[in-house]
Amino acid sequence: MKAVLKNIDDYLALQPERSRIVLEKIRQTIRMTAPGVEEVISYGMPAFRLHGRMLVYFAGFKNHCSIFPGSKSIIQKMKTNLKLYKTSAGTISFTAEKPLPASLIKKIVKAKAKENLDKMKIKKT
């Protein structure tokens, strides 16, 4: 039976210690980078919403952790910075032993926040 997650703390409590430490650092970096974010559980994963739009997700898995900016264009724009990590259309994967640096997480979060704001402006016009 799958646990019902109410919040990110519930999610992190289920993670092995080495993953939990990395994921908590990601959480704190996102919160510092995007003041006013709302923490949610979406698709069974920790996620952040800003201005009513999904910002980023993150998760821990058996052999890796991932951050999901949900944007092919952001991953493409940052491909040089991400060359040491496994990426796919909307996912960046890494290990607890070689986590994403906070500076890179900040770039991803800022880029996604800007992308979301740009989409909101287009929608309003």
Helices of type H across the chain: 8-13, 17-33, 72-77, 102-124
User: Taking the model in full, what pTM does it have?
Assistant: 0.91
| pLDDT one-digit tens code per residue, 62-107 | 999 999 998 899 999 999 999 999 999 899 999 999 999 999 999 9
> Which residues is 49 bridged to in the sheet?
38, 54
Q: For domain 8-118, give the CATH number.
A: 3.90.1150.200
| pLDDT one-digit tens code per residue, 7-57 | 999 999 999 999 999 999 999 999 999 999 999 999 999 999 998 999 999
Identify the pLDDT of residue 120.
80
Whole-angstrom Cα distance, residue 18 to residue 113? 28
Whole-angstrom Cα distance, residue 27 to residue 105? 10
Structure confidence at residue 1 as a pLDDT band (50, 70, 90): very low
Angle, CA 41 vertex, CA 56 and CA 55 arms, to 5°: 20
Whole-angstrom Cα distance, residue 16 to residue 81? 27
Evaluate the CA torsion angle 81, 45, 48, 53 in order and state its sign.
positive
Whole-angstrom Cα distance, residue 21 to residue 3? 20
Tell me the pLDDT of the chain averaged across its residues: 93
